[in-house]
Amino acid sequence: MGACMSNMELCMSPLDKKLAKEEISIFVERNEIIEKVLHEEKIKNKRIVKVLLLGAPESGKSTLFKQMK
């Protein structure tokens, strides 16, 4: 029992080991998908420019914003 506590793999049946490897491959696949989506969003967000228009009312902020579109 002491060996089971220190190294869980020694206590696993071949079926359990196979299932564990399948679960790991599923997690790796999911991680790759998430990493790809995050990378694509990072690239897309680099193209976004945010501007804060400050000024008094009726100073042309809306007009400037419309012209920038």
What's the number of domains the chain is made of? Answer: 1
Domain containing 33 equals 2-68
pLDDT of residue 3: 46
Query: Cα–Cα distance between 28 and 9 in angstroms, integer?
Result: 20
Reported as a single tens digit per residue, the pLDDT across 26-55 is 999 999 999 999 999 999 888 888 888 888
- Please indicate whether residue 57 or residue 5 has the higher confidence score (pLDDT): 57
For residue 63, how many C-alpha atoms fall within 13 Å in the half-sphere facing its CB? Answer: 5
Average pLDDT, the chain: 82
